[in-house]
Structure 1
Amino acid sequence: MGLYSLVRPAVFTLDGERAHRLTIAGLKAMPRRAPHSAPTAMQVELAGLRFPNPVGLAPGFDKDAEVFDRMFGFGFGHVEIGTVTPLPQPGNPKPRLFRLTEDRGVINRMGFNNAGQQAALVRLSRRDRTKGIVGVNIGANKDSDDRIGDYARGAAAMAKVADYLTVNVSSPNTPGLRALQDEGALAALLEGVMDAKREPGGERGPPVFLKLAPDLEPADIDAVVRVAIMHGVAALIIGNTTISRPDLRSKHAGEAGGL
């Protein structure tokens, strides 16, 4: 029996969010391990970046850039932190994370809870950029009057510490956010991000990836891809959690949020 099989029952007695915070605390107490070396054949080149292997840690685990450097020691080829917003925000009311044990799934409605971009910026500015690729996932504050402007502010703030930026317009847990995937809004948003990430000397800044919801209609996908190409997006990330509901057995199946 593996270690995970032994630990899992105890961890599952805890609320999912509490278990997550205890994991982050435990990782912060661990010494940093050297990144794993991978065979050359596993390397992936994308957007001018050389990823040592194709397996990365998705955002949501290390929202505030607290343990990104330690995760390279577990073999990840890159780590994406966030989503971080211009201002700190607590996110949606708890409980907001539900294990669907019978379905081997999770529903969450976290709502971009994070300590703000400045807190992540301080930590990332101290990192050794030779140790691994770090992406920064940026979003808008829930109560912002100018969400497109929030993304531009995020790009300007985080460009200097990110190997790539991810524009996250795919979360179902910030009301109205997915509307930014509409063609006109997305064009304005990407134009603002591309201008904001450029360095004062005219350098282009890090590549921009666009994270999309999996619930788009085919016609919407065509429009999004067209806008992304026009504005120089380097890659699409497919996709975030879904608001659709297949047949589920868990008692939490009816909870609102992303599955």
Structure 2
Amino acid sequence: MEIITDIQDMQQRCLAARGEGKRLAFVPTMGYLHEGHLSLLRAARAAGDVVVLSIFVNPTQFGAGEDFDSYPRDLSRDAEMARAVGTDWLFAPRASAMYPAGFSTWVEVEGLTGNLCGASRPGHFRGVTTVVCKLFNIVQPHVAFFGQKDFQQLAVIRRMSADLNLPVEVRGLPIVREADGLAMSSRNVKLTPDQRRQALALFDGIRLAAAQVKAGERDSRRVLAAVRERIQQEPEARIDYIQVCHDETLSDLETIGPHAVLLLAVRVGATRLIDNHHLGEEIPEP
């Protein structure tokens, strides 16, 4: 595996590989890899001739007071993990190269970004779509892999790719969970042991909601009230949002049907965690 930091070098390598008829599979990340990321890389290995991983903590998707400076970073650790699952190229550009002096072009997706994380983190998705569009242009992948834990992000990237006619197949893979059900996240390492225990309230809430729907409940308000009550039992849990939305439009749903997905964002201490589950599907098991 090679580590590449220069944008032009990365782009030329990828264009040359495409010219040789090779299929490029891409996994964009912010690093501090965990098993969820590795599942994406394994899928990329199975789908492509060349597997490209990017690691870039994107400053433009962090708002004022968010955890950009404290976001976990360890490129050497990540490189070893990526190498072990068969990654060919690790692209780790510098922020000054991705956003040089005078940078003034942004990609925005309207509609899908007005709810959920888009409402609570203004400007977040402008940064996400801009950097992903740039990475797609640099890496020129045939297929790109994203985790479904970032449900809204996946929907937004799919819409951006379709609207801009980007020749990239965007694939979403299932959430990977810890043995006790907590959705894997690079931010989990920031939790204290007690906060880590309290964070299980998100998964408890999901299982509670899924059980209610399985028993016949269709009123979103009742389901949301039950999830909210469970999470509020934890002293350091602060709810950002708990919503039931349509899985394609991300609009709020009053009645739970086949397109209903439960989405949560909760701060446990200073750490913001997200999770989701399609209601009506089987109760998730760790």
Specify the TM-score bucket, using the shorter chain as the normaliser. Answer: 0.3 to 0.5
Q: Normalized per residue, which structure has more helix?
A: 2
TM-score normalized by the length of structure 1: 0.32
TM-score normalized by the length of structure 2: 0.30
